Structure 1
Amino acid sequence: MKNNINKIENLEKKFKSGYGIENINFIVKPGRVFGYLGPNGAGKSTTIRSLMGFIKPNSGSSIIKKRNENEIENIISYDSWNDKDHTQKIIIGYVPGEIAFPQHMTGLNLLKMVFKLRNMTNWEIVKQNILYWEFDPNLKIKKMSKGIKQKLALVIAWMHNPDIIILDEPTTGLDPLMQEKFIALVKKSKNEGKVIIMSSHIFSEIEKTCDTVAIIKKGKIVSLIDIEDIKYNNEKTYEVKFIKDMKVETIESNLWKIDSFKDNIFIFNVKNKNVNNFLEFISKQKVEFLKEHPLDLEKYFMTYYENEVSTLVKENIDKFEHNIKPASKH
């Protein structure tokens, strides 16, 4: 098992535009996958670029603690900014959100160049990664599809067997079969004790791979929760279809909430402590079906972002001045 820990403490980065990140704190231990969720502009990529050492934070730190396998007490700490030459080359595997490879090269030439830059000695590992992703590395990069470029990026991220893997939208452009292979690879790397930090817009991908998820909003982490806690939350949602017409007044109660109803189908939100009371009430009614809707990550995420996009758009539009001058005549 690997013994590396990635510790992010009070990380802050502000840009002139006012956007950035503020007071970001989390720890990712060996054999754990950390998911990072938020819409575009929330601060995900800024955090990741800080962890990679691409940008210098205004304050706070991102530290990689590496325990020497031969000396248990000897723990070496690497700072993401000050020690970036070492961490980027040896310790970290990285897939960027926007891939920009040299267009004139073939995939194979790029892999050979990275192989030499990292002072690697075992080309067999590179071959295994290429075979795993099932693509032809002899293609010129400028002729590669988005999916093939993504596969090439994944090979580069894993080929040196890094201790820490940082992934920014890693499956963009991959077909469903390759997405499943990605999930399998992440689980394998997790079992090997690697530290994995992953940003993704695909909720099912996060649910299948991550242990802990952070939701970031306007540059701040607003929720840090274990995936298991989402599955076993303190409120249940039930869908009930009654055989005969039911009036809302007859089934209202302070023990549950009616979320919506249409065509005699009602959606109820019930706290765990009131589930027995709810089921006892339903058992006395004539019901066609009762179905529980388990809370998933997407629903949990949307509780933090309901109406957020429309509000942000309105705020930006309100800033515009409506004094557009007519075009000049030529």
Structure 2
Amino acid sequence: MLEVSELTKSYHKVRGVKDLSFQVESGTAFGFLGPNGAGKTTTIRLLMGFMKPDLGSARIWGLDCWQDRAELKRIISYLPGELHFMEQFTGQEFLDLIEGMHGAHETIRKNQIDLLRILELDPSQGIRKMSKGMKQKLGIIAALMLDSPVLILDEPTSGLDPLMRKTFIELILEEKKRGKTIFMSSHHFSEIERTCERVGIIRDGELLAIQDIALLKQKERQTFDIEVGGEEDAEFLRQSGLTLYPLDHHKFTIQVEGEQELLWKTLAQIQVKRFQQGSLELEEAFMHYYHSSLRGDGT
């Protein structure tokens, strides 16, 4: 569905992106993670055909994102990271304009009405008077109402409150059920974790890794909360070489990176009263992965 091959773009003295290569399968969601300035928005602008790459290519549905950019607009719904509206319009006038540009289909109007209700937006208000969160809702509605098979979303929940972020996640999960292909950059790790099967990690314009989210969480740092039977067991645990964080008396948090053989050998030799594996948040896994790469521990 979406294929990027050795994609490169430079801006004079400012780094863009270099040698990006990845694929997004049809009907799946792909998350793009990285700090500000890492190259996420540049990648999206190249996918949208807003810029010509210096080297490499990007293709969606077999169409070249630069050479076939006009045709691609018929199959892509796009939500930019920085929204700019015609401030003199009301929300409804803006949505009507977008609808008219795409043929004013009955399906689009029905989707629009449903999305206005779900996101609790009054479209009669002037855009100039809307808050950032309201404008973000308007942008989401304009993108999703078109029912395009491909969604490209740049920081889609910026400015939304936690309740509306939850609602947005539910909308994206529904889009996936309908077979949509989604490319989404975000700073909110929870929404990537809940909506995407795979994630790309980008730093300074270069792709560090492509990982299945489940594998990324498994592969990196894991934590375990444990309570042992007594002081003798606690001392054995302290001398084991495991990374321990004391909690209270004979209670510890154990942190394990990579192989867990030492953990299980140690536990087999002591009395364990309570043992619970902690759930690793995607954010923690990403930050560990990111900083390990900065230190040169791996990619």
After TM superposition, the score normalised by the length of structure 1 is 0.80
Q: Does 1:258 align with 2:221?
A: no
After TM superposition, the score normalised by the length of structure 2 is 0.87
Distance 1:275 1:258, change over 3 A: closer
Q: Which has the higher Rg, Structure 1 or Structure 2?
A: 1
Q: Which residue of 2 aligns with 1:193?
A: 179
Q: Which residue of 2 aligns with 1:62?
A: 58
Distance 1:280 1:163 in 2: 53
Q: Does 1:206 align with 2:192?
A: yes
Kept in 2: contact 1:120–1:160 (CA 8 A): no
Kept in 2: contact 1:108–1:138 (CA 8 A): yes
Kept in 2: contact 1:20–1:43 (CA 8 A): yes
Distance 2:232 2:124 in 1: 66
Distance 2:265 2:13 in 1: 53
Distance 1:235 1:140, change over 3 A: closer
Q: Does 1:93 align with 2:89?
A: no
User: Which amino acid in the other structure matches residue 112 of structure 1?
Assistant: D
Structure 2 gaps, min length 5: none
Kept in 2: contact 1:95–1:170 (CA 8 A): yes
Q: Structure 2 residue aligned with 1:283, among 253, 271, 275?
A: 271
Distance 1:195 1:250 in 2: 48
Q: Which residue of 2 aligns with 1:139?
A: 125
Q: Does 1:107 align with 2:91?
A: yes
Kept in 1: contact 2:111–2:145 (CA 8 A): yes
Structure 1 gaps, min length 5: 66-76, 312-330
Distance 2:233 2:13 in 1: 54
Q: Which residue of 2 aligns with 1:120?
A: 104
Kept in 1: contact 2:45–2:51 (CA 8 A): yes
Query: How many angstroms does 1:192 deviate by?
Result: 1.2
For residue 306 of structure 1, give the secondary structure of its aligned residue in structure 2.
helix
Q: Which residue of 2 aligns with 1:300?
A: 285
Distance 1:307 1:33, change over 3 A: closer
Q: Does 1:173 align with 2:159?
A: yes
Distance 1:235 1:138, change over 3 A: closer
Distance 2:38 2:137 in 1: 26
Structure 1 window deviating more from structure 2 (229-238 vs 42-51): it is: 229-238
Q: Does 1:272 align with 2:260?
A: yes
Distance 1:179 1:117 in 2: 28
User: Which amino acid in the other structure matches residue 91 of structure 2?
Assistant: G
Distance 2:292 2:212 in 1: 25
User: Which amino acid in the other structure matches residue 243 of structure 2?
Assistant: I
Q: Which residue of 2 aligns with 1:150?
A: 136
Distance 1:275 1:163, change over 3 A: same
User: Which amino acid in the other structure matches residue 85 of structure 2?
Assistant: F
- What does 1:10-29 align with in structure 2 at a 5 Å threshold? 10-29=6-25
For residue 14 of structure 2, give the secondary structure of its aligned residue in structure 1.
coil
For residue 281 of structure 1, give the secondary structure of its aligned residue in structure 2.
coil
Kept in 2: contact 1:252–1:258 (CA 8 A): no
Distance 1:250 1:34 in 2: 41
Distance 1:83 1:296 in 2: 39
Query: How many angstroms does 1:263 deviate by?
Result: 5.5
Q: Which residue of 2 aligns with 1:50?
A: 46
Distance 1:27 1:241 in 2: 45
Distance 2:183 2:144 in 1: 14
Kept in 1: contact 2:154–2:185 (CA 8 A): yes
Structure 1 window deviating more from structure 2 (261-270 vs 169-178): it is: 261-270
User: Which amino acid in the other structure matches residue 148 of structure 2?
Assistant: P
Distance 2:187 2:116 in 1: 25
For residue 226 of structure 2, give the secondary structure of its aligned residue in structure 1.
strand
Structure 1 window deviating more from structure 2 (269-278 vs 154-163): it is: 269-278
Identity between Structure 1 and Structure 2 (%): 37
Cα distance per residue 1:165-207 (max 9 Å; x no partner): 0111111121222212211111111111111011111111111
Query: How many angstroms does 1:214 deviate by?
Result: 0.8
Distance 2:220 2:95 in 1: 49
User: Which amino acid in the other structure matches residue 77 of structure 2?
Assistant: G
Distance 1:266 1:192, change over 3 A: same
For residue 94 of structure 1, give the secondary structure of its aligned residue in structure 2.
strand
Aligned residues: 289
Distance 2:220 2:292 in 1: 24
Q: Which residue of 2 aligns with 1:321?
A: none
Q: Which residue of 2 aligns with 1:31?
A: 27
Distance 1:261 1:152, change over 3 A: same
User: Which amino acid in the other structure matches residue 61 of structure 1?
Assistant: S
Query: How many angstroms does 1:44 deviate by?
Result: 0.7
